[in-house]
Amino acid sequence: MKVRIKFRKYGVMKFIGHLDVMRYFQKALRRAEVDISFTGGFSPHPIMSFAAPLGVGLTSDGEYLDIEVNSTDSSEVMVKRLNDVMVEGMEIVSYRQLPDKMKSAMSQVAAADYQLFFREGYEPADWSAWENAWNAFLAQPSLVVWKKTKKSEQEVDIRPMVYRIGLENHVITMRIATGSVHNLKPEFLMEAFYRYAGMEWKPFIFQVHRVDTYMEEEGAFVSMETAETFIEN
Protein backbone atom coordinates (compact mmCIF):
# COMPACT_ATOMS: atom_id res chain seq x y z
CA MET A 1 0.00 0.00 0.00
CA LYS A 2 1.23 3.48 -0.87
CA VAL A 3 0.82 6.17 1.79
CA ARG A 4 1.35 9.93 1.61
CA ILE A 5 2.30 11.75 4.80
CA LYS A 6 1.87 15.51 5.10
CA PHE A 7 3.94 17.25 7.76
CA ARG A 8 4.93 20.65 9.12
CA LYS A 9 8.47 21.82 9.79
CA TYR A 10 8.93 24.81 12.08
CA GLY A 11 10.90 26.25 14.98
CA VAL A 12 14.49 25.10 15.46
CA MET A 13 13.96 22.22 13.02
CA LYS A 14 14.15 24.74 10.16
CA PHE A 15 17.93 24.58 10.57
CA ILE A 16 18.00 20.83 9.80
CA GLY A 17 18.99 20.05 6.20
CA HIS A 18 17.19 17.64 3.88
CA LEU A 19 19.56 14.69 4.31
CA ASP A 20 19.17 14.90 8.07
CA VAL A 21 15.39 15.11 7.67
CA MET A 22 15.51 11.89 5.63
CA ARG A 23 17.52 10.15 8.35
CA TYR A 24 15.22 11.58 11.03
CA PHE A 25 12.11 10.14 9.37
CA GLN A 26 13.72 6.73 8.94
CA LYS A 27 14.23 6.62 12.70
CA ALA A 28 10.82 8.15 13.50
CA LEU A 29 8.99 5.61 11.32
CA ARG A 30 10.83 2.82 13.11
CA ARG A 31 10.03 4.24 16.56
CA ALA A 32 6.35 4.58 15.60
CA GLU A 33 6.44 0.93 14.49
CA VAL A 34 5.26 1.74 10.97
CA ASP A 35 5.27 -1.49 8.93
CA ILE A 36 7.23 0.12 6.09
CA SER A 37 8.37 -1.85 3.04
CA PHE A 38 12.06 -2.18 2.20
CA THR A 39 13.92 -2.50 -1.06
CA GLY A 40 15.59 -5.80 -1.91
CA GLY A 41 19.26 -6.57 -2.47
CA PHE A 42 22.28 -6.59 -0.19
CA SER A 43 21.56 -3.15 1.29
CA PRO A 44 17.78 -2.81 1.84
CA HIS A 45 16.41 0.60 2.79
CA PRO A 46 12.91 1.97 3.48
CA ILE A 47 10.84 2.82 0.40
CA MET A 48 10.22 6.55 0.82
CA SER A 49 10.18 9.66 -1.36
CA PHE A 50 9.98 13.34 -0.40
CA ALA A 51 8.14 15.79 -2.66
CA ALA A 52 10.64 18.65 -2.70
CA PRO A 53 13.63 19.31 -0.41
CA LEU A 54 13.13 22.35 1.81
CA GLY A 55 16.03 24.76 2.09
CA VAL A 56 17.81 25.23 5.41
CA GLY A 57 16.24 28.07 7.40
CA LEU A 58 12.80 27.74 5.77
CA THR A 59 9.64 26.70 7.61
CA SER A 60 6.70 24.90 6.06
CA ASP A 61 3.08 23.84 6.56
CA GLY A 62 3.00 21.67 3.43
CA GLU A 63 5.74 19.03 3.20
CA TYR A 64 5.01 15.58 1.76
CA LEU A 65 6.56 12.16 2.16
CA ASP A 66 5.46 9.03 0.28
CA ILE A 67 6.12 5.59 1.75
CA GLU A 68 5.11 2.01 1.01
CA VAL A 69 3.78 -0.14 3.86
CA ASN A 70 2.98 -3.81 4.25
CA SER A 71 0.15 -3.10 6.70
CA THR A 72 -1.23 -0.10 8.55
CA ASP A 73 -3.72 1.13 11.12
CA SER A 74 -6.21 3.90 10.37
CA SER A 75 -5.13 7.40 9.38
CA GLU A 76 -6.20 8.76 12.77
CA VAL A 77 -4.21 6.16 14.70
CA MET A 78 -1.10 6.52 12.53
CA VAL A 79 -1.05 10.33 12.84
CA LYS A 80 -1.13 9.97 16.63
CA ARG A 81 1.54 7.27 16.70
CA LEU A 82 3.86 9.33 14.55
CA ASN A 83 3.27 12.57 16.44
CA ASP A 84 3.98 10.75 19.70
CA VAL A 85 7.58 10.21 18.52
CA MET A 86 8.06 13.56 16.77
CA VAL A 87 10.38 16.20 18.21
CA GLU A 88 9.31 19.81 18.65
CA GLY A 89 9.40 21.44 15.24
CA MET A 90 7.98 18.45 13.36
CA GLU A 91 4.25 17.68 13.19
CA ILE A 92 2.37 15.08 11.15
CA VAL A 93 -0.74 16.62 9.58
CA SER A 94 -2.17 13.69 7.65
CA TYR A 95 -1.50 10.03 6.79
CA ARG A 96 -3.53 8.77 3.85
CA GLN A 97 -3.59 6.04 1.26
CA LEU A 98 -2.61 6.72 -2.36
CA PRO A 99 -3.97 4.97 -5.46
CA ASP A 100 -1.68 2.09 -6.47
CA LYS A 101 -0.80 3.72 -9.80
CA MET A 102 -0.08 7.15 -8.29
CA LYS A 103 3.36 8.52 -9.13
CA SER A 104 5.79 9.35 -6.33
CA ALA A 105 5.67 12.72 -4.62
CA MET A 106 9.07 13.65 -6.04
CA SER A 107 7.93 13.14 -9.65
CA GLN A 108 4.58 14.90 -9.13
CA VAL A 109 5.56 18.19 -7.51
CA ALA A 110 5.21 21.15 -9.89
CA ALA A 111 4.71 24.30 -7.80
CA ALA A 112 4.66 25.69 -4.26
CA ASP A 113 3.18 28.64 -2.42
CA TYR A 114 5.44 30.80 -0.24
CA GLN A 115 5.14 33.68 2.18
CA LEU A 116 8.11 35.99 2.73
CA PHE A 117 8.33 38.11 5.87
CA PHE A 118 10.88 40.86 6.43
CA ARG A 119 13.15 40.05 9.33
CA GLU A 120 13.37 42.69 12.04
CA GLY A 121 15.85 45.37 11.06
CA TYR A 122 15.67 44.61 7.33
CA GLU A 123 12.44 46.41 6.49
CA PRO A 124 12.69 49.09 3.75
CA ALA A 125 13.36 52.58 5.08
CA ASP A 126 11.04 54.00 2.40
CA TRP A 127 8.13 51.65 1.77
CA SER A 128 6.69 53.79 -1.01
CA ALA A 129 9.91 53.72 -3.02
CA TRP A 130 10.31 49.99 -2.36
CA GLU A 131 6.79 49.20 -3.60
CA ASN A 132 7.22 51.39 -6.69
CA ALA A 133 10.38 49.49 -7.60
CA TRP A 134 8.64 46.18 -6.88
CA ASN A 135 5.72 47.01 -9.18
CA ALA A 136 8.09 48.15 -11.94
CA PHE A 137 10.08 44.93 -11.61
CA LEU A 138 6.98 42.76 -11.93
CA ALA A 139 5.62 44.81 -14.84
CA GLN A 140 8.46 43.64 -17.08
CA PRO A 141 7.38 41.17 -19.80
CA SER A 142 10.42 39.04 -18.99
CA LEU A 143 12.65 38.63 -15.96
CA VAL A 144 16.03 37.70 -17.41
CA VAL A 145 18.70 36.85 -14.85
CA TRP A 146 22.11 35.21 -14.88
CA LYS A 147 21.90 31.73 -13.40
CA LYS A 148 24.94 29.69 -12.50
CA THR A 149 25.12 26.01 -13.42
CA LYS A 150 27.76 23.45 -12.49
CA LYS A 151 29.76 24.22 -15.64
CA SER A 152 28.82 27.75 -16.70
CA GLU A 153 26.59 30.76 -16.29
CA GLN A 154 23.68 31.51 -18.58
CA GLU A 155 20.79 33.92 -19.05
CA VAL A 156 17.42 32.55 -17.94
CA ASP A 157 13.97 34.13 -18.13
CA ILE A 158 12.34 33.25 -14.81
CA ARG A 159 9.02 34.96 -15.67
CA PRO A 160 7.39 31.66 -16.87
CA MET A 161 8.26 30.11 -13.51
CA VAL A 162 6.33 32.76 -11.55
CA TYR A 163 2.67 31.74 -11.56
CA ARG A 164 1.31 34.21 -9.03
CA ILE A 165 2.79 36.93 -6.85
CA GLY A 166 1.46 39.63 -4.55
CA LEU A 167 2.19 41.98 -1.67
CA GLU A 168 -0.19 42.59 1.22
CA ASN A 169 0.52 44.12 4.63
CA HIS A 170 4.25 43.99 3.85
CA VAL A 171 4.10 40.19 3.30
CA ILE A 172 5.11 38.85 -0.12
CA THR A 173 3.14 35.85 -1.40
CA MET A 174 4.08 33.84 -4.45
CA ARG A 175 3.36 30.62 -6.30
CA ILE A 176 6.43 29.53 -8.24
CA ALA A 177 7.76 26.50 -10.11
CA THR A 178 9.07 23.78 -7.82
CA GLY A 179 10.34 20.37 -8.82
CA SER A 180 12.78 18.45 -10.97
CA VAL A 181 11.69 19.95 -14.33
CA HIS A 182 11.49 23.64 -13.40
CA ASN A 183 12.57 25.01 -10.05
CA LEU A 184 12.76 28.59 -8.77
CA LYS A 185 13.79 29.46 -5.24
CA PRO A 186 12.01 32.42 -3.60
CA GLU A 187 15.34 33.88 -2.53
CA PHE A 188 16.61 33.81 -6.13
CA LEU A 189 13.59 35.80 -7.30
CA MET A 190 14.01 38.37 -4.53
CA GLU A 191 17.73 38.70 -5.19
CA ALA A 192 16.91 39.44 -8.85
CA PHE A 193 14.52 42.18 -7.72
CA TYR A 194 17.02 43.80 -5.35
CA ARG A 195 19.69 43.86 -8.04
CA TYR A 196 17.19 45.33 -10.53
CA ALA A 197 16.26 48.07 -8.04
CA GLY A 198 19.92 48.83 -7.23
CA MET A 199 19.44 47.88 -3.59
CA GLU A 200 21.86 45.89 -1.48
CA TRP A 201 20.92 42.22 -1.30
CA LYS A 202 21.55 40.22 1.85
CA PRO A 203 20.69 36.50 2.04
CA PHE A 204 18.79 36.79 5.32
CA ILE A 205 16.47 39.73 4.60
CA PHE A 206 13.42 37.45 4.60
CA GLN A 207 12.02 34.62 6.66
CA VAL A 208 10.62 32.25 4.03
CA HIS A 209 7.64 30.00 4.75
CA ARG A 210 6.31 27.33 2.39
CA VAL A 211 2.52 27.22 2.61
CA ASP A 212 1.80 24.17 0.46
CA THR A 213 3.11 22.10 -2.43
CA TYR A 214 1.20 21.35 -5.64
CA MET A 215 0.99 18.89 -8.49
CA GLU A 216 -0.48 19.69 -11.91
CA GLU A 217 -3.67 18.04 -13.13
CA GLU A 218 -5.38 18.97 -16.40
CA GLY A 219 -3.59 22.31 -16.55
CA ALA A 220 -4.39 23.32 -12.96
CA PHE A 221 -2.38 23.20 -9.75
CA VAL A 222 -3.91 21.13 -6.95
CA SER A 223 -2.57 20.42 -3.47
CA MET A 224 -0.66 17.17 -3.22
CA GLU A 225 -2.93 16.29 -0.32
CA THR A 226 -5.96 15.97 -2.63
CA ALA A 227 -4.65 12.68 -4.06
CA GLU A 228 -5.01 11.00 -0.68
CA THR A 229 -7.81 8.93 0.87
CA PHE A 230 -8.34 8.50 4.60
CA ILE A 231 -7.63 4.99 5.88
CA GLU A 232 -10.55 3.88 8.03
CA ASN A 233 -10.47 1.56 11.04
What's residue 189's pLDDT? 95
Provide the whole-model pTM: 0.92
What's residue 54's pLDDT? 94
Average pLDDT by stretches of 10, the chain with 233 residues:
95 95 95 93 89 94 95 94 96 93 88 96 93 95 81 85 94 94 92 94 94 91 83 72
> Which DSSP category does 233 fall into?
-
> Which DSSP category does 33 fall into?
T
Taking alpha carbons only, the member of 208, 170, 212, 205 closest to residue 191 is 205
End-to-end CA distance of the chain: 15
What's residue 102's pLDDT? 85
Question: Three-state SS for 85?
Answer: helix
Cβ atoms within 10 Å of 189's Cβ, excluding its own: 21
